[in-house]
Structure 1
Amino acid sequence: MHVCYGPGNSTVDKEAHVHVALLGGPLGYKQELKRGLSVLSNFAFSFANISVMMGVTTTYNTGLRYGGPVSMTLGWLVVAVFNGCVALSMAEICSAYPTSGGLYYWSAKLAGKEWASLASWVTGWFNVVGQWAAIASVDFSLAQLLQVIILLSTGGANGGGYMASKYTVLAIYAFILILHGIINSLPIEWLSLFGHVGAIWNAAGIFVLTILIPAVAKDRPNIEFVFTHLNTENGMGIHDKAYILAVGLLMSQYSVIGYDTSAHMVEETKNADRSGPIGIITSVLFATVFGWIYLLALTSVVTDIPYLLSPSNDAGGYAIAQALYTAFHRRYGSGVGGIVCLGAVAVAVFLCGIACVTSNSRMAYAFSRDGAMPLSRVWYRVNKHEVPLNVVWLGVAVASFVPGPFNLGKYGVVVGWVGVVWVATVTVLFSLPVAYPVANKETFNYTPVAVGGVLLLSVGAWVLRARFWFQGPITNVDTHC
């Protein structure tokens, strides 16, 4: 069905825009991905990608080291408020511009004609490279967690347990990447199933663990410790309390990211301009609530912070692994129950990795659709199952604003600016040194190098070549009468 619209009538524009989004040509693009996801499936992908079981467990060492319980339990609530503002603004924009390009496409539309191409170019590259980094981070975290599970299952570091070499960990990591690539090569119906499994596993896992862990623990901290204790003995040479608390917030922030997945999946979602925003908001809401409850459960078995962070413990310094192992061992004389809990987390991390690859492939597909990536013709292809297969494996190997059905009305600008300020603040926090003095490669924070490198390369490529040919999002269907 052909739908056309013009700039002369805002009501007609809006209705036509919605119709174009729903009937197969979202905002000037012909429908090439199979629109087979429901609003529930869209939510499931985002919730599985956020995966607070993964985020909280794998970054707990950071929160425990920098500030301890107070930086996590109360810090989580602070981060939740600002993350909520970011999510609401993203949902509002997603409702107006429901395309797989997500942030890349939005920046072009919101920056104005003069800056559209540069804004979309830089945003797109940061988004693609950031998602590649996310895939690497999640899958490598899983490889490290499996290493700890094997270590504890064979007796622990102090009982002759098997400590995998770095090469073995890298081999496990490579195997996980390949497996995630294979799964993401399946039709969208199968991917949708994994998304649902990921959402259910996270919800059910958190429900079980939040009941089981406190019940098993024989030694539990008091309420005052859980909500007010500030750990300043981080062993990293940092003593300023405000600085320590600020760095400690990164644990909470990292644990609730990835909800832009809903935006990247909208071209495969029915009623995209409504389902996409719902997916973003509900995934953040559920992740915030479930994540905080799970965080409290884990902190209920934390009593001796220096021991849990010590590389000489049975888990090799993996704090939560050691805490769970110790809790079950003291109760039953065996740490097997703690290992089983870690196994449940490992499954959640694996499902999160699937969603990460899915989200990245859709973003890179949309970016290639507009010719922004080298060899775009290779990446901008779908197979017979309407899956962007080539770009899936690429990820493995390496203000004219018309509101949509969901909008914040007069509060949209305020909420949006709060989100912008928070993102800027978090960017600074991620770039701060995490140890003093910064004396060697082990204590140096490479985040500024990575961010600066992407910025330098993307802007450099823009100045030298891309500004002469890249025009931002390109329509590939006739949308005008």
Structure 2
Amino acid sequence: MFGFWSDTGQIYMAGSVLDSDPLLCRLCTWHYIYVAVVESEEWESGSIFSFPHVEMATPEGHEANGNERNSGADDPDRARLRELGYKQELKRGLSVVSNFAFSFAIISVLTGVTTTYNTGLRYGGPASATLGWVVVTAMNGCIALAMAEICSAYPTSGGLYYWSARLTGEDWAPLASWMTGWFNIVGQWAGTTSVDFSLAQLLQVIILLSTGGANGGGYLASKYMVLGFHGGILLLHGMINSLPVTWLSIFGQIGALWNMLGVFAFVILIPIVATEKASFKFVFTHFNTDNGEGIHNKLYIFVLGLLMSQYSMAGYDASAHMTEETKNADRSGSIGIITAVSLSSIFGWAYLIAITFAVTNIPYLLDSNNDAGGYAIAEIFYLIFKERYGSGAGGIVCLGVVAVAIFFCGVSLVTSNSRMAYAFSRDGAMPFSAVWYSVNKQEVPVNAVWLSVVLAFCMALTSLGSSVAFQAMASISTIVPYIAYTLPVFFKVTLGRKSFVRGPFHLGRYSAAVGWTAVLWVAMITVFFSLPVAYPITKDNFNYTPVAIGGVLFCTLFSWFWSGRYWFKGPIKNIH
């Protein structure tokens, strides 16, 4: 019986079935001798065994370099990262709670639900919003479980694109990681643009209501002012993300706590303050077909209404991108993903139900002539306080609470963006990779941080020109991230179904079923959200989602065949 140590940290065995006696394997690779004691009841020819804990000894006459001597080489996180081909360069100071907090703050149900509630009301109304949330979060649970299983096996900052490379084999790894990486990072940049621009627009509404509202001579900030708000917000996010990771951990945890407390407060406050409340039947069964968009088929309307819930649940890949800075990464990253999605599902549904109980006149809430200019949730908050106390000031304060939640969401988004850009540059996939793949004395990828900030601002410049261009950019943040989420899952259940070696967290016999459910769901919503949103179709109501997705796909493939295929070989080991 002979074995050899692969670069994945696995021993590939060849030979006949052995008995249950322990086997001591001494395996030499490069500069180290790995000593592993393995006990197994039955070893079959061609089976693969994973060794999570390996003793490393320095051969005689070979002295480890200073970095390795002083870097805690016996630390299991560092050891696992070495097995995956990378040395520890980022500061590993995050706990499982901090890892979870980044994803929870990015999902930020206060952000997603507040900014897209108009879509839910217009397409299906209360039933589409409340029941659609259950459907979407169940499907996102499958995506999260499938991602968590892979994250446990490959805990690196590269996340999705690294997973794709490892799951497709040597021949397909470069193209698979190229496609996944670019879809992931472009989707993240667009997501940051979308979230921070949403905050700028909410500030516009807060100022409008604070100065009298649309019907009371209130001040409506121009599109240039909104872009200025957006730039200022991004500047603050860049400055915060230039701080050490211990500070970012604090911001992430505050953001998660703020979202939780905000939802708690609103769930209690809205029923108390609202003088008129919708019935239980209205909240869960009323289906709005009066959308003014020429669409009357209920199933079609319901499908379009799912966009609110699907958009609200994006961003949980952040836990994967933070694993190189998280302790016990092969467990903590998976826990972070699953917990963030689970709690967001619960808190989001509670917020949705509370808000929807205050809905009594859907056409009025969507009317651009109301006090909030057609911003439904802003009008709800403003109206319930005004009807109860004669002033909408309390509603403006509530909007301020939401604005802070969106701000924290943006902070964590830039954090996730920068780690993805850092990892992708480490593998040479981005232009000027050497610039973005660098860390400062505090072990922060500060160049990647500011790259993310600048690109998010540049994407928002489209708002000054063609509305078509801005809609196309915004569409990227809706579907492209989910495509990136499920590409490695698809590769796992197809090309990697036999070679994948699970980590501490795994789905056992349900792995394939959960994976295929996730893949099929994303395929379905890609089609759903590419459908026309109004009839007859005009240049002003055209759904640019398929154009945006096609544009990202075309650019990614064109750059691959024109250039990338000649030099990009997938993830590059930086341990020599």
Into which bin does the TM-score normalised by the smaller protein fall? over 0.9
Shift of 1:62: 0.5
**Paired residues of 2:96 and 2:336 also in contact (CA < 8 A):** yes
Q: Which residue of 1 aligns with 2:543?
A: 445
> Aligned letter for 1:182?
M
Provide closer, same or farther for how the CA distance between residues 267 and 310 of structure 1 changes in structure 2, counting only shifts above 3 A.
same
Partner Cα distance (2:282, 2:222) in 1? 37
Per-residue CA deviations over 1:221-242 (Å, capped at 9, x if unaligned) read 1011100111111112222211
Query: Using the alignment, how far apart are the partners of 1:110 and 1:320 within structure 2?
Result: 44
Q: Which residue matches 1:379?
A: 436
| Pairing 1:435–2:534 present | yes
Q: Give the secondary structure class of the aligned counterpart of 1:28.
A: coil
Match of 1:417 in 2: 516
SS of 1:11 mapped into structure 2: strand
Say whether the 8 Å CA contact 1:14–1:402 is kept in structure 2. no
Alpha-carbon separation, structure 2, partners of 1:431 and 1:151: 33
Q: 2:95 aligns with which of 27, 32, 38?
A: 38
Instruction: State yes or no: 1:153 paired with 2:210.
Output: yes
The question of whether the paired residues in 1 share the 8 Å contact of 2:77 and 2:327 is answered with no
Q: Does 1:68 align with 2:68?
A: no
Aligned with residue 463 of structure 1, among 530, 540, 561? 561
Distance 2:12 2:54 in 1: 12
Residue among 34, 44, 49 paired with 1:11: 49
Residue of structure 2 equivalent to 1:204: 261
Structure 1 residue runs of 5 or longer lacking an equivalent are none
Instruction: Indicate which of 322, 325, 338 corresponds to 2:382.
Output: 325
**Partner secondary structure for residue 84 of structure 1:** helix
| Residues 373, 354 of structure 1: alpha-carbon distance in 2 compared, 3 angstrom cutoff | same
Contact 1:26 1:267 in 2 (8 A): no
Measure how far apart 1:323 and its partner are: 1.1
- 1:20–1:26 contact (8 Å) kept in structure 2: no
- Does 2:570 correspond to 1:472? yes
The CA deviation at 1:8 is: 2.9
Give the match's secondary structure for 1:114.
helix
Instruction: Please identify which structure carries the higher strand content.
Output: 2
Alignment of 1:246-395 (within 5 A): 246-395=303-452
Contact preservation (8 Å) 1:39, 1:276: yes
In structure 1, the partner of 2:300 is: 243
What is the CA–CA distance in structure 1 between the aligned matches of 2:560 and 2:76, rounded to whole Å?
31
Question: 1:402 is matched by which residue type in structure 2?
Answer: V
Question: For the residues of structure 1 that align with 2:76 and 2:532, how far apart are their CA atoms?
Answer: 48
How far apart in 2 are the matches of 1:436 and 1:374? 42
One-letter amino acid matched to 1:163: L
Letter in 2 for 1:419: A
Paired AA for residue 339 in structure 2: T
Number of the residue aligned with 2:283: 226
CA distance, structure 2, for counterparts of residue 327 and residue 273 of structure 1: 47
Shift of the alpha carbon at 1:259? 0.6
Separation in 2 of the partners of 1:357 and 1:164?
26
On the 8 A contact 1:149/1:339 being kept in 2, the answer is yes
CA contact (8 A) 2:274 2:385 kept: yes
Instruction: Name which of structure 1's ranges 13-22 and 105-114 shifts more when overlaid on structure 2.
Output: 13-22
**Deviation of 1:16 (Å):** 4.8
Larger relative CO (CA 8 A, sep 6+): 1 or 2? Answer: 1
Give the distance between the partners of 1:225 and 1:127, measured in 2 at CA.
39
Distance 1:12 1:229, change over 3 A: closer
The equivalent position to 1:136 in structure 2, one of 187, 193, 202, is 193
Letter in 2 for 1:466: G
Q: Quick check: 1:143–1:170 contact (8 Å CA) kept in 2? A: yes
CA distance in 2, matches of 1:46, 1:92: 16
Name which one, 1 or 2, has greater alpha-carbon Rg: 2
C-alpha distance 105-149 of structure 1, shift in aligned 2 (>3 A): same
Give me the TM-score of the superposition, normalised by structure 2: 0.81
Task: Please give the alpha-carbon distance, in whole angstroms, between the structure 2 residues aligned to 1:432 and 1:14.
Answer: 47
Shift in Å, 1:20: 6.0
Tell me how far 1:477 sits from its aligned partner. 1.3
Q: Say if 1:145 and 1:346, in contact at 8 Å, map to a contact too.
A: yes
Q: Please state how far the C-alpha of 1:82 moved relative to its aligned partner.
A: 0.7
Q: Which amino acid aligns with 2:82?
A: G
Question: Cα distance, 1:430 vs. partner?
Answer: 2.4
Q: CA deviation at 1:447?
A: 1.6
Structure 2: state its 5+ residue gaps.
1-5, 14-47, 56-73, 456-495
What SS class does the counterpart of residue 84 from structure 2 fall into? helix
CA spacing shift, 1:211–1:159, aligned 2, 3 Å: same
Greater helix content: 1
Do 2:100 and 2:335's aligned partners in 1 also have CA atoms closer than 8 Å?
yes
Distance 2:362 2:337 in 1: 35
Give the C-alpha shift of residue 109 in structure 1.
1.3
